[in-house]
Amino acid sequence: MKGILFLNLLLLFSLSLLAQTYTPKVSRDSLGVLNSRVSVLKINMEVLEMKIKESEEEMEVEKLRLKLMETNGDAKVSAERTSANSAKTGTDEAVDLKAMQKLSKKAKSDSDDAIKALERFNKQISKVEKLRMEIQAEERKLSYLKPWVAFHK
């Protein structure tokens, strides 16, 4: 009698232990696929952020291009005025040396501004090109990482 009671109690406790076992619904393989999908999504987000930055940098290139055109126009006008004034030196007309120096300094200043604008423009273009190369490299990496596993319910 005591033996049967002991076996019943032992059976009752063992059933409660078996009821607490955990069986996962996701296999390790599918967990790996899910993790790789998450990493692909993260890289995709990085690529999109880089493309947004690229568009901002391209807007800056456009601003610098307009500034470059403006400074080139100013330099050209200053150079024409200086050459017109210096052409007077060969004739019998009176030449104002102070005005000639002033025009010369203005032409040099405008020329320097145009050169600086060109340098900033070229620097910005190289920045955009570098960003494009980084985007292409990340997109290539992304094409290798895409999991081609389809989930079925």
Q: What is the pLDDT of residues 84-132, one digit of tens each?
A: 877 777 665 666 778 888 888 888 899 999 999 999 999 999 999 999 9
Q: What is the pLDDT of residues 22-47, one digit of tens each?
A: 666 666 667 777 888 888 889 899 99
The pLDDT value recorded for residue 21 is: 63
Task: Print the SS3 string covering 86-112.
Answer: HHHHHCCCCCCHHHHHHHHHHHHHHHH
Integer Cα distance of 12 and 6 in angstroms: 10
CA 94-96-100 angle, to 5 degrees, is 125
Q: Which residue carries 């900033």 as its tokens? A: 120
The pLDDT value recorded for residue 49 is: 96
Contacts 24+ apart (CB under 8 A), 100-105: 103/78
